[in-house]
Amino acid sequence: MDKIIETVLCATIDDEPRFRQILEKLIADGSIEAFPAFTNERKSKAIARKRRVRIDLIEMHFLTRRL
């Protein structure tokens, strides 16, 4: 999911549930192949991804205030 969020233009961490829903439907239909990295992603990895985004946003906010 990390790569998807990084690759899709203007995508944010808030788009993740929508992307996941779309991809799971396509996997169920057989339109795309299910990769273990997507289907077996641990909850801790998703939590870490959200934490990294929050830290980045805090840093960006801090840096923009210094300008």
Which of 38, 28, 39 has the alpha carbon at shortest distance from 5? 38
Model confidence, pTM: 0.71
> What is the per-residue pLDDT for 6?
87
CB burial readout 41-51, b (16+ within 10 A) else e: eeeeeeeebee
> 8 pLDDT band (50/70/90 cuts)?
very high
> What is the per-residue pLDDT for 28?
96
Instruction: Express each pLDDT in 16-44 by its tens digit.
Output: 999 999 999 999 999 999 999 888 888 88
Residue 58: half-sphere exposure toward Cβ, Cα within 13 Å: 6
Domain residues of the chain, as ranges? 2-66
